[in-house]
């Protein structure tokens, strides 16, 4: 029985992970659960799964469980956990990713922000502690599934992108999009922050940076194509021009299960069997880069490296929160990100403190830009 710790168990990925584990009780047991909010649901989960450790990462009125950010570290380094599913949203997930890797765990990583903020530190922590990062993100899971067992000649990755709810909207209308419109993703049901990131295409920039660190490819070898049906999750091109892709109906349960079992596989009776006819016509189109400018801003931050990706991430987190609060229009998100990156002088991201400092600086700068909106 493999012990699994789930950080962020009440979120979209956290719940899907428990859904997957409910069908795999012979192979895995839940040893730790943590969540931020949603205490009522958390209580139900703890009741069902009886983990050895349960804690709340954000303080609340509850007194049943330990509270505070250290809870994430405790769960991430729990001696009975071999796999840590990091399904926390945002920069709050970084320390847990590092702690789990240093403790030699497999990190099934949904929290892409960790890798974006501190890709080199995450890689070093894995080397030092003997841990490994296995992606949960569907595009990266697709790439991993395509390259596993084919260990030479990797050339280029093309990640697919649904295009988000505003794929075909005129630029002026996108700028004024409401919160409700931004939260209406065409193919995936996810947490609010990533859903907004899909609408701005920030998510795809985060994913290119994530792919850069996971698969050790230069940015010139990483591309994006819009694929509204979300059936093909990624294309992998090898040096001889051959292309392998991974397909499936959009569901996070398959990439979650694969992150737990990689490089092996387990049968899953709960998966919707693939049917090419039901999948319908598959179409591909270029990204409208002049409308969704955050994509190129994010790629530039990735190329600049050092603290720039952490600044990109932090500016985005703050701008998205401001948008969800009604403080800025949708179009301001990418302008704020741009403004913060323009003012940033990238430094080395050699320590967690340097990354945190860049993150704080970027949030402060972004807050000023929100105020001046
Ligand atoms: P979500 O908002 O649904 O869930 C987030 C979870 O983290 C919740 O359990 C919440 O209580 C907890 N949390 C929130 N703030 C916290 C904090 N400060 N400290 C500790 N815990 C906190 O988010 P989600 O959609 O499940 O996404 C989680 C991560 O997975 C994100 O990084 C996202 O980019 C990534 N991801 C999600 C999907 C998806 O389908 N939802 C797909 C790919 C990647
Ligand atoms: Mg993804």
**pLDDT tens per residue, range 239-269:** 999 999 999 999 999 999 999 999 999 999 9
Q: What was the pLDDT predicted at 151? A: 85
Ligand nearest to the CA of 110: 1
pTM of the model: 0.98
Q: Look at residue 65 and tell me whether its pLDDT is greater than 80.
A: yes
Ligand 1, closest atom to CA 206? Answer: 34
Is 254 touching ligand 1 by the criterion CB < 6 Å? no
| 112 phi and psi angles, rounded to 5 deg | -60, -25
pLDDT, averaged across the chain: 97
Cβ of 11 less than 6 Å from ligand 1: yes
Radius of gyration of the CA atoms of the chain, in A:
20
Q: Which ligand is nearest to the CA of 139?
A: 2
Q: How many helices (H) and strands (E) does the chain have?
A: 17, 10
Residue 110 burial (CB < 10 Å; 0-12/13-18/19+)? buried
| Atom 34 in ligand 1: residue holding the nearest Cα | 194
What confidence tier does 110 reach under pLDDT thresholds 50, 70, 90?
Answer: very high
Q: In what order do the strands lie in the sheet with 28-35?
A: 53-56, 28-35, 2-7, 83-86, 106-109, 132-135
Calpha distance 345→26 (Å, rounded): 51
280-319 pLDDT tens trace: 999 999 999 999 999 999 999 999 999 999 999 999 999 9
| Band (360; pLDDT cuts 50, 70, 90) | very high
CA distances from 23 to 12, 66, 74, 267, 269 (A): 18, 29, 27, 10, 8
Whether pLDDT at 23 is above 80: yes
Which numbered ligand comes closest to the C-alpha of 138? 2
> Could you tell me if the CB of 88 is within 6 A of ligand 1?
yes
81 lines ligand 1 (CB under 6 A): no
* Structure-model confidence comparison of residues 185 and 361, the more confident one: 361
pLDDT of res. 266: 98
Residue 62 has pLDDT above 90, yes or no: no
Q: Is the CB of 92 under 6 A from ligand 1?
A: yes
Q: Kindly indicate the confidence band of residue 207, based on its pLDDT and cuts at 50, 70 and 90.
A: very high
């Amino acid at each position: 029985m493999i012990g699994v710790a789930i950080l962020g168990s009440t979120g979209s990925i956290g719940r899907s992970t428990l859904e997957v584990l409910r069908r795999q009780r012979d192979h895995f047991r839940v040893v730790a659960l943590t969540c931020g909010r949603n205490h009522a649901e958390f209580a139900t989960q703890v009741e069902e799964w009886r983990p050895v450790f349960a804690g709340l990462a954000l303080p609340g009125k509850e007194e049943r469980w330990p509270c505070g950010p250290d809870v994430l570290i405790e769960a991430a380094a729990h001696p009975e956990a071999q796999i840590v599913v990091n399904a926390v949203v945002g920069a709050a997930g970084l320390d847990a990713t590092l702690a789990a890797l240093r403790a030699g765990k497999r990190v099934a990583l949904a929290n892409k922000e960790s890798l974006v903020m501190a890709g080199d530190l995450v890689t070093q922590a894995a080397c030092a502690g003997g841990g490994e990062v296995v992606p949960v993100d569907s595009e990266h899971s697709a790439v991993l599934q395509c390259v596993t067992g084919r260990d030479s000649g990797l050339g280029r990755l093309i990640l697919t992108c649904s295009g988000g709810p505003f794929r075909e909207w005129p630029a002026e209308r996108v700028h004024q999009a409401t919160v409700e419109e931004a939260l209406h993703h065409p193919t995936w049901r996810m947490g609010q922050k990533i859903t907004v990131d899909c609408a701005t295409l920030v998510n795809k920039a985060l994913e290119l940076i994530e792919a850069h660190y996971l698969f050790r490819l230069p940015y010139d070898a990483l591309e994006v194509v819009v694929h509204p049906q979300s059936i093909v999750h990624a294309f992998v091109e090898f040096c001889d021009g051959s292309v392998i892709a991974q397909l499936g109906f959009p569901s996070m349960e398959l990439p979650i299960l694969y992150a737990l079992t990689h490089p092996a596989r387990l049968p899953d009776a709960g998966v919707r069997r693939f049917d090419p006819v039901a999948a319908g016509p598959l179409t591909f189109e270029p990204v409208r880069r002049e409308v969704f400018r955050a994509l190129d801003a994010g790629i530039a931050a990735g190329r600049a490296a050092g603290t720039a990706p952490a600044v990109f991430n932090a500016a985005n987190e703050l701008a998205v929160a401001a948008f969800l609060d009604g403080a800025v229009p949708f179009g301001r998100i990418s302008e704020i990100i741009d403004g913060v990156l323009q003012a940033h002088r990238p430094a080395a991201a050699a320590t967690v403190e340097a990354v945190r400092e860049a993150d704080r600086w970027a949030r402060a700068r972004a807050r000023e830009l929100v105020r001046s909106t």
